[in-house]
Copies of this chain bind each other. A is one copy, B any other.
Amino acid sequence: MGLVVKKFGGTSVGTTERIQAVAEQVKASREAGDDVVVVVSAMSGETNRLVELAESIHPNPPAREVDVLLSTGEQVTIALLTMALEQIDCPARCYTGAQVRILTDSSFSRARILDIDAEPLQEDLQRGRVVVVAGFQGVDEEGALTTLGRGGSDTTAVALAAALEASECQIYTDVDGVYTTDPRVVPEARRLDRITVDEMLELSSLGSKVLQIRAVEFAGKYRVPLRVLSSFEEGPGTLITYEEEGMEEPLISGIAFNRDEAKISVIGVPDTPGIAAKILGAVAEANIEVDMIIQNISQQGLTDFTFTVHKRDYQATLDLVRDNAEQLGAREVYGDDKIVKLSLVGVGMRSHAGVANTMFRALSNEGINIQMISTSEIKISVVVEEKYLELGVRALHKAFELDVQPVAELEGLSDE
């Protein structure tokens, strides 16, 4: 297939036995004719161990030194994996992020990749070596070590695949692909053979935490073919595609849900210009992220305003808005943290009317009341009472026949 970048997370390299299993898998790819670059995370548990060491010394350890500390985690893994490869006669060479060099900005603990020098890696590949690279880490212009934040190894893999113009970037995880919804909620949930990057982004941000959202964005930007697959069992996984490939898209790809939100309603505020900014300004200043925002139409010069925040920010937000209620001229402020957000995702819905209608009818048939609605090009989200999570997801999964392989997708597969 050419050059493949494979990324293995902490669980996949959690023990020396697992590292040896990864080495075997990499060797098999080499023997099948691929050039292979492997990106690895720290062995599972290692990052937490290091964080605990730091916190036993400093209650709020400085980010620059935390990055020096944490980047040892992947450095251990690259050394061990390279030894495991050499042990089975698969020539390999390993590199830290700084060695590659993966140039980042200087935002310690959440740095962004600016550039990658792929030259030395190309040389190793030409000599028939497997290249093993430490994920999650880089170096800034002044030579300081940086890390990309949790899950940053996915981003490293995608960035390397882009820089090396790899034919595929394979992210090995503990699931065997992206599903139409969480199989623990809907046993009929089906693994998708393909999904578009836009859908993947919506699914990631909505709580299907298969891939880091930054990695998916990165992959989209550089058109890196991305595949999610299991490091524990064989299988094709799910390929993340780009739209210009022109296959007919299924109507709906999946259903995401998010239990982590709470809603705040500001009732009966004067519908004057700038009222939304007034309400949300204080929230933004407190560094609280707002997800859905809904403002109903005005009645008698008054309007209702509702938004959602993460559950952990619920009480702080409620207190904040209540403190401002008088100044805002609001009649009432109330909140509810017993809610859940259900989202239908699919690029196909752009060209198909009636998706929203089918969704609302399916929920209504189950007696589920919709509290909030928000839509985007390829997504419809609704907020319902928390207790309806499973019922709602199952009803939608059935209504859109997600348990059945769509004809278009089957045709798409036969092209391969």
Contact = CB atoms under 8 A, between A and B. Distances in A.
Contact of A54 (B54, B57, B71, B79): B79
Interface string A73-107: 00110111011101100000010101100000000
A267 interface: no
Contact of A57 (B50, B56, B83): B83
Contact of A65 (B61, B65, B79, B98): B79
B94 A57 contact: no
A76 to B, nearest CB: 5
Contacts of A62: 82-83, 86
A54 B68 CA distance: 22
A20 interface: yes
A76 B57 contact: no
A389 interface: no
Given A16-B53, A53-B16, A99-B143, A61 B75 contact: no
A19 B57 contact: yes
* Copies of this chain, count: 2
A65 B94 contact: yes
A205 interface: no
A282 B338 CA distance: 83
Nearest to A54: B83
A68 B72 contact: no
A69 interface: yes
Contacts of A86: 58, 62, 65
A261 to B, nearest CB: 35
A56 B98 contact: no
Contact of A16 (B56, B65, B99): B56
Interface in A23-43: none
Contacts of A84: 57-58
A66 interface: yes
A78 to B, nearest CB: 7
Nearest to A15: B56
A393 to B, nearest CB: 43
Given A75-B72, A86-B58, A143-B99, A80 B53 contact: yes
A82 to B, nearest CB: 5
A80 B54 contact: yes
Contacts of A56: 16
Contacts of A75: 68-69, 71-72, 75
Nearest to A74: B72
A351 to B, nearest CB: 52
Nearest to A67: B79
Contacts of A71: 75
Interface in A331-380: none
Interface of A: 16, 19-20, 50, 53-54, 56-58, 61-62, 65-66, 68-69, 71-72, 75-76, 78-80, 82-84, 86-87, 94, 96, 98-99, 143-145
5 contacts: A58-B83, A62-B86, A65-B80, A68-B82, A69-B80
Given A58-B87, A68-B78, A68-B79, 5 more contacts: A57-B87, A61-B83, A68-B94, A69-B79, A72-B76
Ranked nearest first, the 6 interchain pairs of A and B with the lowest CB-CB distance are A69-B79, A72-B72, A68-B79, A58-B83, A58-B87, A65-B79
